[in-house]
């Protein structure tokens, strides 16, 4: 059934929402979700990867605003984590090890001496069980999987359930749920690269970001937290009143230079804030608003992206997309005072991030 056709559900009546599933071989399936306003999201059961997201500009023109590969099989060897689910622990773990309840755990070193985004066989490389759904207000996909204790170096048998919901209010809601039979580190996120210009027409230099954060985490030369939390005031890291990304990309601030010209830093949110991040792109008129119950976000401005990748709308280049990885901080495994990644045994993990798309 084509996503461009109206569908009829006996319980819902006639609806312009639609869902299409394409089988790709090797167990891969590509799910295309469409809401009543025409917004579309495409997701692979492999890695839970968001491959495409069509959102309107101020003239109603629907265009893709996330980075993804032209050839879907390139996701198998993707070092950029385009659109992927990240776990068990999003971010870098120093020296690929941590001590937990008196035991030392060694993880795969897949980023120099450090462990990045759950390792080379993290959630982004998993073939997830997938179940599509449709309600009167949304169309979506539930992904689930079970991970055995220490198969990836982490303690605890872990069950995970991720729900993507595309609503008729042009919201993409991601609900993360998990439970472990042992206390374990866990913080999950999605690694989509956004470019609100549409079809990668421009880099993200002139994207304006407003963020409710006055503190960010200092990094060393290996992009590992030093243990210091810095005050963002009067720096290129202060987004409370809005700032173009190019100000950090071109900044001579040591922290911007360490990141490769831009941002790859964890920002700690101010408490009791609901609307924590707003991103705008003036020429298209698109606006992205992010709400989350996570304590912070890694904002990554695509500083390490090479220029030889074949993407769905052209070749890759530095600063072609910006990620907002809502999560807790893996620095809490080695330092005090950081948002904790601890999930206690048999306690539910439940986090939500909502991406709202509109125009101004």
Residue 325 annotated as catalytic: yes
Of 192, 196, 198, the closest CA to residue 209 belongs to: 196
Rounded to whole angstroms, the Cα distance separating 245 from 241 reads 13
Which of the following is catalytic: 191, 207, 265, 319?
A: 191
53 close to 43: Cβ distance less than 8 angstroms: no
Rounded to whole angstroms, the Cα distance separating 277 from 259 reads 21
Tokens of 81: 């984590």
Q: Which residues pair with 345 in a beta bridge?
A: none
- Taking the CB of residue 249, how many other CB atoms lie within 10 A of it? 22
- Provide DSSP, 29-97: EEEEEE-TTS-EEEEESBTT-EEEEEEE-TT--EEE-B--BSSGGGGGG-SS-TT-EE-SB-SEEGGGE
Residue 260 CA: distances (Å) to CA of 20, 67, 117, 265, 300: 40, 20, 19, 12, 11
Which of the following is catalytic: 20, 40, 63, 325?
A: 325
181 close to 156: Cβ distance less than 8 angstroms: yes
Of 37, 42, 55, 43, the closest CA to residue 194 belongs to: 55
Length of the chain: 360
Residue 281 annotated as catalytic: no
The residue behind tokens 């991103």 is 279
Tokens of 119: 């390792």
Phi, psi of 327 (to 5 degrees): -175, 175
Residue 5 CA: distances (Å) to CA of 15, 133, 136: 10, 17, 17
Residues ≥6 apart with Cβ < 8 Å to 241: 210
Catalytic residues: 191, 325
């Amino acid at each position: 059934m084509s996503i461009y056709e109206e569908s009829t559900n006996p319980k819902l009546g006639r609806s312009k929402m639609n869902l299409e599933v394409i089988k790709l071989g090797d167990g891969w399936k590509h799910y295309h979700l469409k809401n009543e306003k025409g917004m579309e999201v495409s997701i692979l059961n492999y890695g839970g990867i968001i491959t495409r997201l069509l959102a309107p500009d101020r003239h109603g023109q629907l265009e893709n605003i996330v980075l993804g590969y032209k050839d879907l099989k390139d996701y198998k060897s993707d070092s950029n984590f385009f659109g992927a689910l990240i776990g068990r622990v999003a971010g870098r773990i120093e020296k690929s090890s941590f001590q937990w309840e008196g035991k030392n755990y060694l993880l795969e070193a897949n980023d120099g001496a450090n462990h990045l985004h759950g390792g080379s066989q993290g959630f982004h490389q998993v073939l997830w069980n997938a179940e599509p759904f449709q309600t009167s207000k949304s169309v979506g996909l539930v992904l689930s999987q079970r991970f055995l204790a220490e198969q990836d170096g982490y303690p605890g048998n872990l069950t995970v359930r991720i729900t993507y919901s595309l609503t008729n209010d042009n919201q993409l809601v991601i609900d993360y749920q998990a439970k472990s039979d042992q206390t374990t580190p866990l913080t999950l996120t999605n690694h989509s690269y956004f470019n609100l210009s549409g079809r990668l027409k421009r880099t993200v230099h002139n994207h304006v970001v407003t963020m409710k954060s006055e503190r960010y985490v200092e990094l060393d030369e290996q992009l590992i937290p030093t243990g210091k939390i810095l005050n963002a005031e009067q720096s290129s890291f202060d987004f409370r009143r809005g700032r173009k990304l190019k100000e950090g990309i071109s900044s001579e601030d040591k922290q911007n230079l360490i990141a490769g010209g831009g941002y790859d830093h964890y920002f700690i949110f101010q408490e009791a804030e609901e609307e924590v991040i707003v991103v705008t792109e003036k020429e298209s008129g698109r606006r992205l608003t992010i709400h989350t119950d996570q304590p912070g976000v890694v904002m990554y401005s695509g500083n390490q992206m090479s220029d030889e990748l074949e993407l769905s709308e052209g070749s890759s280049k530095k600063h072609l997309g910006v990620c907002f990885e809502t999560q807790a901080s893996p620095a809490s495994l080695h330092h005090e005072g950081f948002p904790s990644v601890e999930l206690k045994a048999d306690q539910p993990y439940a986090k939500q991030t909502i991406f709202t798309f509109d125009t101004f």
